[in-house]
Amino acid sequence: MGPESASGRVKVRILPSDHRCGCYVFEFDSRHAESVVMETNHVFEVKNSQDKAIRFHYSSEFQPDQRARRAPGHLQESAFMTHSGGRKSWQTPAVVLVAGCVIATIGFGIRASFGLFLDPMTIARDWSRETFALAMAIQNLLWGMGLPLAGALADKFGPVGVMVAGALMYAAGVWGMTASPDPMIFQLTAGVLTGAGIAFTAFSLAMASMVRVVGPQRRTLVLGLGTAAGSLGQVVFSPMSQGFINAFGWSTALLWLAGISLLLVPLAMALPNDPRMSGDPGTEQSLLDAVREALSHRGYVLLTTGFFVCGFHVAFITVHFPAYVVDIGLDATVGAWSIALVGLMNIAGSFLSGMFGQRYSMKLGLSGIYFLRSITIALLLVSPKTEVTIYVFAAVMGILWLSTVPLTSGIVAQVFGVRYMATLFGIVFFSHQVGSFLGVWLGGVLYDRTGSYDGMWIAGVVVGLLAALVHLPINEQPLQRLRSSPAG
């Protein structure tokens, strides 16, 4: 189907590549047009652009054979258009980005503070550290197992209902931690229920909505922004939770956190709830086809394997580092401020990682991050155990902390597109959470057996070096179906 011209006007035929998500290819019979005005219920204009593709947002469905005016200038012969029909008028990109960032701040911040409760809870309940560590390990595993399901539901029905349900589970699980008199109930509340709540409110679901309201050239930067917002939660909630514990006791502190988690309900409603919003060509594939395509891609498998190590490092340090600081003779507040410092430095690290991914190879960035993590952990092992050492370690590790997320999710979006990003990144993240499970649980087991965390630090060095190698063979080029049509 091609365009026709008549009486000085250009007749444009709209070609739907995926009618469900409102993606269209359109062509003109003239290469000379400074702007194009589409005439339907309203008037919309596409400005002149040097890009091969032009992104055209509209609020009304176009029908084939709409007309357009032309003016002197140059316009590419074809373009790929996406619409904002899945968003309400007030759900501007700015609103969506702010809501997504606050969701990441609260959801990640509360979870990152749980390690501060290890000492007071185990002492009050007369539990071993392994008991607390097992509940946190189950929590991480349920987070990982639940995220692909949450992502699939969000990709099919929209994220709002998924995240509202998750917020309620999150609040119930954190509240239940205060009312768990024995280890079995604690595994169910802190582990299963809280883990499921974290999965269904995960910042990756919010980021999947965030990248759909910006162009492909800004996706990695937005992913870095969302990850940095999660780190801000770590900065805010670690000292705040320690303050709650000091002022009210650990039980009341958990009740405060449970109440704060309910703020995720209204924030989720600020996200666009149309899962079909996408800027990708070829999005007519089904969810099952998308998963099969990804699992058959060697780079996706390698990316999934490498992300296991990120979870191993992050979860072990989050849960056990405050106790490790106390074990080496420093005050508990040093541990709390260290976790906050990790989050503070990761704001910069995540944002810089997003900027790096816009300009350079994302797989090389990931290899570098894992290599530097191994060097940093090795230096901690051989350095004097002073407050300065702890704070320097926290600062450096903070820069490398979740800077893996913008690059990992960026590769997923770049290679496979954003239509099923929540699901595909959820599968990758499951590997991260298997690593988290082992990092948290083995940390407790080894400490109870040996009275030291040295074995876990050594393991962290080894797996970090392996991850640095695993990422090098990844092919991060977009699939052919994404390159077959220009995509702005």
Domain ranges of the chain: 4-81, 93-280+289-332+339-480
Determine contact, residues 283/295, Cβ cutoff 8 Å: no
Kindly report, residue by residue over 149-200, the tens digit of the pLDDT: 998 888 888 888 999 999 999 999 999 999 888 899 999 999 999 999 999 9
* Whole-number Å distance between alpha carbons of 127 and 81: 59
Q: What is the pTM of this model?
A: 0.68
Neighbours of 156 (CB within 10 A): 14
Nearest CA-CA partner of 322 in 307, 314, 332: 332
Amino acid at 397: M
Extract the tokens encoding 362: 């994302």
Q: What share of the chain is helix, strand, coil (3-state, %, to 5)?
A: 65, 5, 25
Given CA atoms 391, 397, 399, 403 in this order, what sign does their dihedral have?
negative
Rounded Cα gap, residues 169 and 471, in angstroms? 35
Q: Dihedrals φ, ψ of 215, to 5°?
A: -75, 160
Gap between the Cα atoms of 33 and 39, Å rounded: 16
Question: Where do runs of H (alpha helix) occur along 328-470?
Answer: 332-359, 362-382, 387-400, 404-416, 421-450, 454-470
Amino acid at 380: L
Query: pLDDT per residue over 457-474, tens digit each?
Result: 999 999 999 999 999 999
CB contact at 8 A, 196 and 146: yes
Residue 166 and residue 273: Cα distance in Å, rounded? 15
Going by C-beta distance under 8 Å and a sequence separation of 6 or more, which residues neighbour residue 432?
144, 307, 308, 310, 311
Output the six-digit token pair for 428.
């990758």
For the chain, the first-to-last Cα distance in angstroms comes to: 22
Whether the CB-CB separation of 404 and 310 falls below 8 Å is answered with yes
Give the tens place of pLDDT for each residue, 406-440. 899 889 988 988 778 888 988 998 999 899 889 98
Q: What is the percentage of the chain residues whose pLDDT exceeds 70?
A: 77
Give alpha helix (H) positions in 158-297.
159-178, 183-186, 194-200, 203-211, 219-248, 250-261, 264-268, 287-295
pLDDT, residue 393, reads 96
Mark the ranges of the chain whose per-residue pLDDT is less than 50. Answer: 1-85, 282, 485-488
Report, at the CATH architecture level, how domain 93-280+289-332+339-480 is classified: Up-down Bundle (1.20)
